[in-house]
């Protein structure tokens, strides 16, 4: 009917800056190529750095109904969105939940998302901090890496990357938040923000060899966070 699903590659934003290729600019060409008479709207799409399922609609009413459905589902405590992630390290527990407050914080010239373990009532009321929740399950593990199923119940920018960081199992290709997971004698721990500026993800030499990457390729390794499934009404 009115719905069309695409597999978005990592690095492609839904909306981009001037002169930047983005999904919205490509929709008219896609409509012409498919011979479709109506314009497409983006119902649901992963963030720029993520890959995966992108849901389009050629019916404005359908778009609004589905977007309202996803918002209502989160408020009812449901998990209609499922991601898959490849992580560096395997979680200690095969399944569980990650709960924390999240907020934006200035770091140099950029802003990063940081966890707030016990957010205050006033910060929540002002919406400076948002309580977030992600449910996870280990689907498989090999050679120090894991395939995780992630189901966020809340929506906050970078939520899944930060939650995986708190799990001490950052996503493969996370060059922004993985630096906060340090190791001493092989035991991982969380570094303070000021001690861990964003940098190319540091991987074990054995893993780099298995991936067949040189240092230049490692800097451009994409984030292995994939929007895998959407449940529709």
Profile the chain (233 residues) by mean pLDDT over runs of 10 residues.
94 87 93 91 95 96 94 90 97 96 89 91 90 97 96 95 97 96 89 89 92 91 97 90
188 strand-pairing partners: 183
Asked whether residue 103 falls in the same domain as residue 208, the answer is: yes
pLDDT for the residue numbered 37: 87
pTM check: above 0.85: yes
The answer to whether 40 and 81 have CB atoms below 8 angstroms apart is no
In this prediction, residue 117 carries a pLDDT of: 85
Cα–Cα distance measured from residue 54 to residue 44, given in angstroms and rounded to the nearest whole number? 6
Sign (positive/negative) of CA torsion 105, 107, 112, 115?
negative
Question: Helix %, strand %, coil % for the chain, to 5?
Answer: 25, 35, 40
Give the CATH number, domain containing residue 19. 3.30.70.580
Domain range for 68: 3-78
Within the chain, residue ranges assigned H as helices are 23-34, 60-75, 121-125, 159-166, 205-211, 215-219
Residues 141 and 221 in one domain: yes
- Side-chain-side CA neighbours of 45 within 13 Å: the count stands at 24
Do residues 161 and 213 both lie within one domain? yes
**Residue that is last in its domain, among 45, 78, 111:** 78
Per DSSP, the three-state class of 229 is: strand
Q: Which residues pair with 112 in a beta bridge?
A: 105
Please tell me whether residues 134 and 194 are part of one structural domain. Answer: yes
* Strand, helix or coil for residue 186: coil
Quick one: pLDDT at residue 75?
87
Note whether 127 and 74 are same-domain residues.
Answer: no
- The whole-number pLDDT of residue 149 equals 98
Q: Can you give the pLDDT at residue 193?
A: 87
Q: Are residues 36 and 123 in the same domain?
A: no
Q: Which of 23, 43, 78 is the last residue of a domain?
A: 78
Are 65 and 100 within one domain? Answer: no
Q: Tell whether 165 and 107 lie within a shared domain.
A: yes
Q: Is 159 helix (H, G, I), strand (E, B) or coil?
A: helix
- Give the residue from 31, 59, 78 where a domain finishes: 78
């Amino acid at each position: 009917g009115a719905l069309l699903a695409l597999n978005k590659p990592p690095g492609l934003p839904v909306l981009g800056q001037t002169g930047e290729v983005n999904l919205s600019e490509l929709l008219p060409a896609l409509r012409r190529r498919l011979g479709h008479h109506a314009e497409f709207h983006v119902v649901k799409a992963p963030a720029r750095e993520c890959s995966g399922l992108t849901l389009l609609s050629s019916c404005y009413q359908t778009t609004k109904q589905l977007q309202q459905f996803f918002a209502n589902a989160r408020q009812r405590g449901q998990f209609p969105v499922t991601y898959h992630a490849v992580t560096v390290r395997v979680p200690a527990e095969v399944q569980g939940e990650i709960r924390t407050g999240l907020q934006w914080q200035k770091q140099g010239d950029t802003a990063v998302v940081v966890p707030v373990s016990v957010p205050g009532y006033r910060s929540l009321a002002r919406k400076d901090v948002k309580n977030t929740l992600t449910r996870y399950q280990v689907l498989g593990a090999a050679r120090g890496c894991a395939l995780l199923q992630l189901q966020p119940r809340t929506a906050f920018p970078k939520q899944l990357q930060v939650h995986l960081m708190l799990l001490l199992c950052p996503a493969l290709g996370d060059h922004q938040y993985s630096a906060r997971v340090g190791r001493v004698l092989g035991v991982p721990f969380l570094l303070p923000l000021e001690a861990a500026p964003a940098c190319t993800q540091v991987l074990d030499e054995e893993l780099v060899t298995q991936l067949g990457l040189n240092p230049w390729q490692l800097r451009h390794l994409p984030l292995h966070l994939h929007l895998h499934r959407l449940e529709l009404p």
